[in-house]
């Protein structure tokens, strides 16, 4: 086990050219209070990276334990080849302040406008200004136990 595990798991969503996409991440963090900045780490090869760079917006969807199957699906299937929302029957709704979908029923959302990007080794750090914070249902959050796979999830930190 890596010393910084477990990590809270979320799905980032975005839209570009009329196509909606979602990918699972566990590498993300708040950066600033004023302005409220939030960062996600993505590989440049991910379809959602390309979409965020074009649309300049993304939504951080915090997951509950009952969304574990969606986390696994969105983290192991390529958005280059399939519509993840359709294939996994993930319910979506429109974000309130950005042109992006979000996953219906999540415990919380951060709607972000891209303000900066930094190369960081084999990933890029995408910094978003949070322009809308939404608290949804109360639920135990989903955490990823490992980073090397096979991926397992928990709701507790041990």
Q: For residue 13, tell me if it sits in a domain.
A: yes
Q: For residue 58, tell me if it sits in a domain.
A: yes
Q: For residue 2, tell me if it sits in a domain.
A: no
Give the per-residue pLDDT at 5. 59
Q: For residue 90, tell me if it sits in a domain.
A: yes
Q: Which residues of the chain register pLDDT less than 50? A: 1, 157-158
Q: For residue 86, tell me if it sits in a domain.
A: yes
CATH no. for residue 43?
2.30.110.10
Give the per-residue pLDDT at 8. 78
Enter the pTM of the model.
Answer: 0.89
Render pLDDT for 63-84 as a digit per residue (tens, 0 to 9): 998 998 999 899 888 888 899 9
Q: For residue 78, tell me if it sits in a domain.
A: yes
The overall average pLDDT reported for the chain is 89
CA 155/CA 40 separation, integer angstroms: 21
Q: For residue 1, tell me if it sits in a domain.
A: no
Q: Report the phi/psi class of residue 36: left, alpha or beta, with left for phi > 0 and alpha for psi in -120 to 50.
A: beta
Give the per-residue pLDDT at 157. 45
> Within a 10 A sphere around the Cβ of 32, how many other Cβ atoms?
12
How many distinct structural domains can be found in the chain? 1
Give the per-residue pLDDT at 138. 76
Domain that holds residue 101: 7-154
């Amino acid at each position: 086990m890596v010393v910084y595990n477990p990590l809270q798991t979320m799905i980032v969503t975005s839209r570009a050219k009329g196509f909606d996409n979602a990918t699972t991440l566990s590498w993300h963090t708040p950066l600033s209070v004023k302005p409220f900045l939030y960062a996600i780490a993505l590989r440049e090869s991910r379809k959602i990276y390309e979409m965020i760079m074009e649309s300049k917006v993304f939504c951080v969807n915090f997951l509950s334990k009952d969304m574990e199957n969606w986390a696994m699906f969105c983290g192991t299937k390529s958005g280059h080849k399939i519509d993840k929302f359709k294939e996994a029957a993930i319910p979506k709704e429109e974000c309130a302040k950005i042109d992006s979908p979000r996953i219906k029923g999540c415990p919380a959302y951060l709607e972000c406008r891209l303000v900066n990007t930094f190369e960081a080794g084999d990933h890029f750090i995408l910094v978003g200004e949070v322009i809308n914070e939404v608290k949804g249902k109360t639920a135990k959050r989903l955490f990823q136990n490992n980073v090397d796979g096979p991926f397992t999830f928990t709701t507790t930190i041990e």
